[in-house]
Amino acid sequence: MVLDVFAADEQSEHPVDIERWATLARHVLGAQGVREDVEVSLLFVDEPTIAELHERFLGEEGPTDVLAFPIDEEPEPGGRSPDEGGTGPGGGLPGDEDVPLLLGDVVVCPTVAARNAVEHGVSFDDEVALLVVHGLLHLLGMDHGEDAAAQTMERRERELLARFYRAPS
């Protein structure tokens, strides 16, 4: 099983330890039962970039702290397999079984996270950790649109943070 987390810091306002957050992401994915070869992108961007994504994909103006973009489509099976139809021979290209499933992207804005941290009375790292976990849970299908779902998601965030997040000394 490979939990491949590609992390990139594409902003310069707040230093981000991308390896630390990629490690947290791998732990969360494993704890959430991800048992396939998956690939996730974890991107840290500036305010103009996240504001553009926020408006483009959610129709809401202004920057936000975190966005999650799940890739909902399962890969199409190649060739002909029993009960899967198809007209070609065999079962896809050699090595297809080694291609990871693209789970999606989590995009975090450290500048908004820094403001949130002050507002919430927590450290910058505490806020970033929460946003990384929050975004990953969205990729895995959790939501907070209704009260019960929000409570379930918040409880799971707290459990995962307690288990895998360590504030720097």
Domain span at 63 = 3-73+99-164
| Domain total of the chain | 1
pLDDT tens profile 74-89: 544 444 444 444 444 4
pLDDT tens profile 8-35: 999 999 999 999 999 999 999 999 998 7
Is there a domain that residue 89 lies in? no
Which of 67, 68, 166 lies closest to 125 in space, CA to CA? 166
Supply φ then ψ for residue 150, to 5 degrees. -65, -45
User: What CATH number does the domain containing 12 carry?
Assistant: 3.40.390.30
- Asked whether residue 150 carries a pLDDT value surpassing 80, the answer given is yes
Tell me the CB-side half-sphere exposure of residue 77, using CA atoms within 13 A.
Answer: 13
Supply φ then ψ for residue 5, to 5 degrees. -115, 115
> Where are the strands (E) in the chain, listed by range?
3-9, 38-44, 66-70, 101-108
Is there a domain that residue 87 lies in? no
Would the pTM of this model clear 0.85, i.e. be above it?
no
